[in-house]
């Protein structure tokens, strides 16, 4: 895996077993065990593929996954958490922002370009770690040059005593080196962090390139790259503290030490072998029976998406990228359409189907309590900043879950997102008055919840707009 330029952190995460991946996802997402297992196996298969011989590696293609389930049950959250877990190139895109070439919208190939950009960031981060020590040494030297410039001496044409001039130069040099050593020690000890230095920065005035032209993303990239090369540089002076200058110069020195061509080549290789593209709202590109207007474009998106998922070569500003071994995970609620309404060829490219379950009241209770970043813990932390101790009793959490489940049943079912609206409504008064009030302890029990939520939940017409 090291040859693919993963960071040490990412390499450790890619070594996780499927069981460990599921365990990590369980810390943030309640239920949906089947979806977690499928994703975990797919990620582990990327690790396995890297360890087979080259001949077999070319034959092994990723088993793409389609998640099917109503909104708010965890499809996107699984993808988002997976992104932080794998450390591999990962992007999440909305299928609805793409259209067939000739219609207003984005070209489907742009998702591959975004994936390469993501990979570029990973590789650059990995390479930066390798050159950090040398870059910091160079930054210290540049800071010393700014804090203590090299002394210059004008030439006096009337001066005839060369020996005397050489002696003075030697004395000046020795004195400068001694002062520079003292200054370096002070810099190492952090005594000069607030000292102001003047930096000269160079920027290029890059003309604005027209964007969002259907099917023209590749040409826009070429124009952008051309303008970057020919646009004149402008120099400007900036004053900043040594602390800020160190970060600014570190970026420059790292870029100078890293081979741009090597990074780009490694990024393309990483995207091709470990890239994951999550396509959300794929059910929204199913055309209705009356194909006209936007529906024609939706059908066209499926046709354009098919070669990307099957495996094709996409031109990017960093070179050609093959999508044969990119893992695609699609997700959709499929309220008005069914997976079988997709083009048969596209259906066949997602052999693993996972159905996510509707959330029950018990699931809501777990969502409010179990994850490390649950809503109750978030609001507790927010109120602590106002010196208010917010405590949620078990009966209070049970009541919140009950109201969320009830509203979902009576109105539109938006899954766990209903908890956000319920919690915000519940704590709206406290959030507004916490800065002015002198309360130091607030307990959220069943009665507290009932007083603030019950009337709204009983009025179905009002709950449609408020909750």
Q: Is 32 left (phi over 0), alpha (psi -120 to 50) or beta?
A: left
Residue 42 has pLDDT above 80, yes or no: yes
Domain 2-121+266-355 class, CATH top level: alpha beta
DSSP β-ladder status, 319-322 and 313-316? antiparallel
Whether the CB-CB separation of 276 and 89 falls below 8 Å is answered with yes
375: which residues sit within 8 A by CB, 6+ positions away? 367, 368, 419, 420, 423
Concatenate the DSSP letters of all residues of 256-283 into one string. HHS-HHHHHHHHHHHHHHH-EEEEE-GG
Q: Where are the beta strands (DSSP E) in 307-395?
A: 313-316, 319-322, 327-332, 352-355, 389-392
221: which residues sit within 8 A by CB, 6+ positions away? 113, 316, 317
Residue 189 has pLDDT above 80, yes or no: yes
Residue 215 has pLDDT above 90, yes or no: no
How far apart, in Å, do the first and last CA atoms of the chain sit?
A: 48
Q: What is the mean pLDDT of the chain?
A: 80
268 pLDDT tier (thresholds 50, 70, 90)? very high
Which token pair is 416? Answer: 């766990």
Which token pair is 415? Answer: 């899954």
Per-residue pLDDT of 134-178, as tens digits, reads 988 888 888 888 887 777 655 555 555 666 667 777 887 888 788
Residues 278, 327: Cα–Cα separation, whole Å:
8
**CA distances, 266 to each of 84, 122, 455 (Å):** 20, 10, 59
pLDDT of res. 158: 54
Rounded average pLDDT over 55-72: 86
Select from 3.40.50.1010, 1.10.10.10, 1.20.1530.20, 1.10.8.60 the CATH code of 361-459. Answer: 1.10.8.60
Whether the CB-CB separation of 166 and 173 falls below 8 Å is answered with no
Q: Picking from 26-30, 145-149, 214-218, which range would have the lowest pLDDT averaged per residue?
A: 214-218
Which token pair is 368? Answer: 């409010």
pTM of the predicted model, to two decimals? Answer: 0.75
Which residues are 321's β-sheet partners?
314
pLDDT of res. 204: 58
Whether the CB-CB separation of 105 and 297 falls below 8 Å is answered with yes
Which token pair is 21? Answer: 């991946």
Delimit the domains of the chain by residue range: 2-121+266-355, 137-152+162-260, 361-459
pLDDT of res. 214: 47
Residues 305, 395: Cα–Cα separation, whole Å:
49
pLDDT of res. 244: 83
pLDDT of res. 116: 93
Between the CA atoms of 278, 79, 212 and 317, what dihedral angle is there, to the nearest 10 degrees? Answer: -70
DSSP β-ladder status, 233-241 and 196-204? antiparallel
Whether the CB-CB separation of 333 and 71 falls below 8 Å is answered with yes
Whether the CB-CB separation of 277 and 82 falls below 8 Å is answered with no
Give the DSSP H/E element, type plus range, for residue 412: none
Per-residue pLDDT of 79-114, as tens digits, reads 888 877 877 888 888 888 876 554 555 678 888 999
DSSP β-ladder status, 352-355 and 65-68? parallel
Per-residue pLDDT of 351-410, as tens digits, reads 888 888 888 889 899 999 888 888 899 999 998 888 888 999 999 999 999 988 888 888
Report phi then psi at 229, rounded to 5. Answer: -80, -35
**CA distances, 105 to each of 57, 110, 213, 235 (Å):** 36, 11, 8, 38
Q: Nearest to residue 43, comparing CAs of 113, 8, 90?
A: 90
By three-state DSSP, how is residue 343 classified? coil
Report phi then psi at 224, rounded to 5. Answer: -60, -45
Residue 310 has pLDDT above 70, yes or no: yes
């Amino acid at each position: 895996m090291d040859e693919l330029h993963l960071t040490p952190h990412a390499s450790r995460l890619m070594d996780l077993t499927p069981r460990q991946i599921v365990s990590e996802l369980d810390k943030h997402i309640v239920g949906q065990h089947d979806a977690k297992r499928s994703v975990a196996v797919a990620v582990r298969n990327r690790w396995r593929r890297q360890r087979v011989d080259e001949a077999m590696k070319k034959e092994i293609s990723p088993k793409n996954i389609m998640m099917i389930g109503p909104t708010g049950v965890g499809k996107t959250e699984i993808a988002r958490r997976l992104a932080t877990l794998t450390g591999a190139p990962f992007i999440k895109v909305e299928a609805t922002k793409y259209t067939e070439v000739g219609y207003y919208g984005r070209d489907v190939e742009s998702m591959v370009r975004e994936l390469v950009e993501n990979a570029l960031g990973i590789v650059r981060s990995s390479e930066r770690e390798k050159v950090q020590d040398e870059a910091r040494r160079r930054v210290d030297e540049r800071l010393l040059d700014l804090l203590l410039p090299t002394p210059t001496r004008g030439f006096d044409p009337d001066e005839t005593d060369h020996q005397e001039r050489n002696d003075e130069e030697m004395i000046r040099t020795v004195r400068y080196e001694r002062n520079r050593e003292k200054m370096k020690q002070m810099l190492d000890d952090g005594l000069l962090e607030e000292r102001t230095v003047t930096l000269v920065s160079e920027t290029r005035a890059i003309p604005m390139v027209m964007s969002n032209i259907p099917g023209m993303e590749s040409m826009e990239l070429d124009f952008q790259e051309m303008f970057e090369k020919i646009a004149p540089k402008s120099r400007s002076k900036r004053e900043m503290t040594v602390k800020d200058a160190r970060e600014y110069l570190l970026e420059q020195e790292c870029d100078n030490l890293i081979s741009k061509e090597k990074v780009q080549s490694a990024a393309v290789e990483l995207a091709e072998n470990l890239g994951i593209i999550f396509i959300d709202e794929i059910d929204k590109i199913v055309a209705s029976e009356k194909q006209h207007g936007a529906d024609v474009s939706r059908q066209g998106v499926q046709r354009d998406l098919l070669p990307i998922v099957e495996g094709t070569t996409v031109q990017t500003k960093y070179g050609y990228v093959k999508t044969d071994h990119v893992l695609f995970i699609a997700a959709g609620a499929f309220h008005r359409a069914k997976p079988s309404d997709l083009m048969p060829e596209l259906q066949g490219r997602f052999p693993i189907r996972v159905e996510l379950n509707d959330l029950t009241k018990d699931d809501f209770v777990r969502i409010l309590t179990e994850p490390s970043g649950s809503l109750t813990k978030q609001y507790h932390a927010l109120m602590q900043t106002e010196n208010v101790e917010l405590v949620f009793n078990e009966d209070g959490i049970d009541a919140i879950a009950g109201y969320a489940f009830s509203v979902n049943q009576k109105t539109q079912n938006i899954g766990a997102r209903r908890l956000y609206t319920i919690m915000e409504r519940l704590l709206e008064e406290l959030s507004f008055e916490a800065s002015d009030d002198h309360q130091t302890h607030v307990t959220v029990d069943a009665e507290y919840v009932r007083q603030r939520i019950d009337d709204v939940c009983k009025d179905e017409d009002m709950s449609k707009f408020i909750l």
